[in-house]
Amino acid sequence: MSAPTPAHSQVNTNLLLSFCKATAEGLRLDILRVLSAESFGVLELCHIFATPQSGMSHHLKVLANAGLVATRREGNSIFYRRAIIASDNLLSDMTNTLYATIDRIALSAEVFDRATEIHTERAGRSREFFSRNAEGLRQHQNQIAEFEHYASSVDDLLDNEQIRKSSRVLEVGPGDSELINSLAARFEHITAIDNSAAMLDRAQAVIKKTLRDKVTLLHADIDQISQAETQDKHFELIVLNMVLHHMASPAALFASARKLLAPGGCLLIVDLCPHDQDWARDTCGDLWLGFEPSDLDAWAQDVNLTRGQGIYLGLKNGFQIQARLFHQPTTPVTLNNSEAI
């Protein structure tokens, strides 16, 4: 018999039992599959799995006790996601193997469709907000972050990438930010898309007359563009400026961007770090109260985008901005079925 393992590195029997109990139920495995790259609230998960709230809460408690799910408060709402596997987790090997195996499970058509309904409902709320509030939105958004406060940081990141002037560029959700003029001055042609016609009108109004011939505005979302069967749909640069926190599924954005990026192309995301200012939901239409940098890293890694440089800026009002670059490999990579729902 081998010598006893030091106490600090022993796998406690109760810990292992909790893990095994949590993973010995089909619905709980399906919950972990759905949470592979997404965050959902309890009621959303109830809808996805057609399960009463009391039962869903029980399953989530079991998974949480086993360290397999974690919660994040978004204002007055609580969202569940897979727990990050800590380096000192005594069951890290088992957990990594579990996640990798679960991600090979094909969701049933019913579960997939109901999860899609949640995304559609979120996106509908966002579109409705922008349709109703396009006129005064910039004033409200400037309460959080004015573009001029971080414009030079965006310029620095793009300068360092040395992207050709002739490159194809896509901006998602340009709104009435001055960024579209900055991009049009830098590159020969910009395609800008938005799923809100009202916000496209705002973008049209802000583009300088001398640059309008360089910008094409399309009423569409990035998922539609990524699925379009066209010969020339790849871009060397895709930009989202304060847009990700309005998207129904941030993880799905990375999957769509990966499909649209040319080999070696760049994805630039400018967004907020986590905050607790719930008023931003009603005033600015935010679906998410910022993001942990590690969340963006994980979503990018899930679709084989590599992390590039990033800049973090603290503002006097307490908000913090992150400007992040992610790169498409120069050699295409085939993904498995674990892409975002």
pLDDT at 122: 78
Q: Collapsing DSSP states into helix, strand and coil, what is residue 1? A: coil
Residue 99 has pLDDT above 50, yes or no: yes
143 has a pLDDT exceeding 80: no
Q: Is the pLDDT of residue 178 over 70?
A: yes
**CATH topology classification for 9-105:** Arc Repressor Mutant, subunit A (1.10.10)
Phi, psi for 282 (deg, rounded to 5): -80, -35
Confidence check: pLDDT of 6 > 80:
no
Q: What is the pLDDT of residue 332?
A: 62
Provide the percentage of residues in the chain whose pLDDT is more than 70.
84
Strands (E), 109-250: 168-172, 189-194, 215-219, 235-241
* Pairwise pLDDT comparison (184 vs 89), residue with the higher score: 184
Task: State residue 14's pLDDT score.
Answer: 82
322 sits in the region (left: phi over 0; alpha: psi -120 to 50; else beta) called beta
* Residue 232 or 168, more confident: 168
Please name the amino acid found at residue 217.
L
Return the pLDDT at 96.
Answer: 87
pTM over 0.75: no
- When mean pLDDT is compared over 116-120, 168-172, 310-314, 330-334, the highest value belongs to 168-172
SS3 of residue 136 by DSSP: coil
**DSSP states along 43-109:** HHHHHHHT--HHHHHHHHHHHHHTTSEEEEEETTEEEEEEPP--TT-TTHHHHHHHHHHHTTSPPPH
For CATH 3.40.50.150, the residue range(s) in the chain are: 137-327
Within the chain, which residue ranges are assigned CATH 1.10.10.10?
A: 9-105
Give pLDDT, residue 145.
72
pLDDT digits (tens, 9 = 90+) for 288-301: 888 999 999 999 99
For residues 112 and 337, is the Cβ–Cβ distance under 8 A? no
pLDDT exceeds 50 at position 321:
yes
Q: What integer pLDDT is reported at residue 155 of this predicted model?
A: 93
Q: What is the pLDDT of residue 8?
A: 46
pLDDT higher than 50, residue 44: yes
List of residues 6+ apart from 177 with CB closer than 8 A: 138, 147, 206, 241, 242
| Exposed/middle/buried for residue 140 (C-beta within 10 Å: 0-12, 13-18, 19+) | middle
Residue 208 clears pLDDT 60, i.e. is over it: yes
What is the rounded average pLDDT of the residues 24-42?
90
Confidence band (pLDDT; 50, 70, 90) for 114? Answer: very high
Q: Which pLDDT does position 182 carry in this prediction? A: 96
> Span 43-66, mean pLDDT?
95
**Mean pLDDT of the chain, nearest integer:** 85
In the CATH hierarchy, which fold is given to the domain comprising 137-327? Rossmann fold (3.40.50)
